[in-house]
Amino acid sequence: MNYLASPLGSKKKFLILGCGFSGSFFAKTIRKFGCIALTSSRTENNDPNSFVFNSESNVIPDEKIFDGVTHILSCIPPDKNGNDPVLGSLKNKLKSLSLEWVGYLSTTGVYGNTQGNWVSEIDQPKPFQKRSHKRLNCEKEWIDSGLPVQIFRLPGIYGPGRSTFEAIKTQKIRIISKKNQVFSRIHVADITNAIIHLLQNKNDLKFYQIINIADDEPCSQIEVIQYCYNLLGLKMPKPISFEDAKKELSPIAQSFWMENRRVSNKLLCEELGYKLIYKNYKIGLKNCFLNS
Ligand SMILES: NC(=O)c1ccc[n+]([C@@H]2O[C@H](COP(=O)([O-])OP(=O)(O)OC[C@H]3O[C@@H](n4cnc5c(N)ncnc54)[C@H](OP(=O)(O)O)[C@@H]3O)[C@@H](O)[C@H]2O)c1
């Protein structure tokens, strides 16, 4: 990535709404380009670049936060009624700004179960879980808002501080085998860098409103867990079959095993020319191992 050639720079002001795992990585990186990045959280903290936004308690940001904002990235999930918290509280405010770009982090859950087949942006979403219906509803709200929005559909996000290593260390790991079951994943750094790639080349690339950001190699959970145990130099305990494990899983944990899909990144990586930093879980987890 050529930092000097970047059209991003000191004149750009980003609001990152929902500064959790992905949002904070994005904010930290975009500041290296000389951009201003202010971030929201639901409670006060000591970070001078942070402000409070909490749709649940109707706490909305002070007017001056929006001065000169050019870019918005929303990393906030749907509220319990399936509406978008940002649009519910701030739509009119956002529409009054001269925004160049709005990014929305969504999920590949909207595609539903493809029985292990590949799925891409041109496939009709067929949400299966209630939460995925809510998510698709939020995507529609963003599209209908008339804002210059780009939606990023993400599979399981991992990175330093949030990966299988933490689950092993805290003994929360469940080693479950289910025949032919795969999951797609993405390293948090690739979410940030893919978005920056698209912003840097905004005027040269065709604008797509919906883009998957996923790595090249969907695979089983067991492969990932085995790889982590190998890196740690530990023996992986014996897997339990999904049928046996099922009764002890929470409804939310069970629901993840009800869907089986391979998420295609061809639009992003072939058509739009993004080069993944972490093409597969092995390279990505090595990064987590070295940085945790
Ligand atoms: N984690 C995954 O594997 C995964 C996979 C696919 C898609 N996604 C989606 O991608 C997005 C980013 O994921 P992430 O894991 O980086 O998120 P995260 O760490 O869970 O952060 C979510 C952020 O949203 C804020 N938030 C939640 N409800 C809010 C509300 N009602 N009003 C204002 N702020 C609110 C949280 O505030 P606080 O900082 O105060 O908690 C937090 O900063 C989310 O929409 C997530 O659902 C996640």
Gap from CA of 240 to ligand 1 centroid (Å)? 30
> Which residue has a Cα nearest atom 15 of ligand 1?
21
- 105, β-bridge pairs: 152
Gap from CA of 1 to ligand 1 centroid (Å)? 27
Gap from CA of 20 to ligand 1 centroid (Å)? 6
pLDDT at 292: 77
| Nearest-atom index, ligand 1, CA of 157 | 3
Q: What lines the ligand 1 site, CB under 6 Å?
A: 18-23, 41-43, 53-56, 75-77, 79, 85, 105, 107, 154, 156-157
> Which residue has a Cα nearest atom 21 of ligand 1?
20
pLDDT at 121: 98
Going from the first residue of the chain to its last (292 residues), give the mean pLDDT of each consecutive group of 10, the final group possibly shorter: 56 96 98 96 96 97 97 97 97 97 98 98 97 98 98 98 96 94 98 97 94 98 97 96 92 93 98 98 98 84
pLDDT at 6: 54
Gap from CA of 74 to ligand 1 centroid (Å)? 9
Gap from CA of 23 to ligand 1 centroid (Å)? 8
CA 118, 119, 122, 126: dihedral to nearest 10 degrees? 140
pLDDT at 272: 98
Q: From residue 155, how far is each of 109, 121, 178, 187, 281 by CA, in Å?
A: 7, 13, 19, 10, 13
Would you say the pTM of this structure is higher than 0.95? yes
